[in-house]
Amino acid sequence: MLRSLALAALLAAAPLAAHADEVWALPSGNQIVYERDAGATAILSYKPEGGLEPGYIFVPGLGGYFSGRGAYQGYWVEAADAGPVCAASLVDAEGKTWQR
């Protein structure tokens, strides 16, 4: 019975392996993770050098494309605890205002 449960758990996790290319390892050891889409904007996350909350990278035009990708421009934001805040602020694709 235990073997059956272990095999079922392994088979259930197998589809996740197909998305392994959605995590990128950087030379620093940090990782960038494709978190979700907000319409046509892809939202990726990473751990900033300072602060506790993740930083986010917003890539307009990438959302929903999982093959045939090209070059994109985007912007990144970090929580205020990651360092000094900027004088300017922006509103991301999900409506949150950032100052870093």
Is the model's pTM score more than 0.75?
no
Average pLDDT across the chain, whole number: 78
- What is the 3-class SS of the chain, one letter each residue? CHHHHHHHHHHHHHHHHCCHHHEEECCCCCEEEEEEEECCEEEEEECCCCCCCCEEEEEECCCCCCCCCCCCCCEEECCHHHCCCCCCCEECCCCCEECC
Please state the domain extents for the chain: 21-98
pLDDT digits (tens, 9 = 90+) for 24-55: 888 888 899 999 999 999 999 998 888 889 99
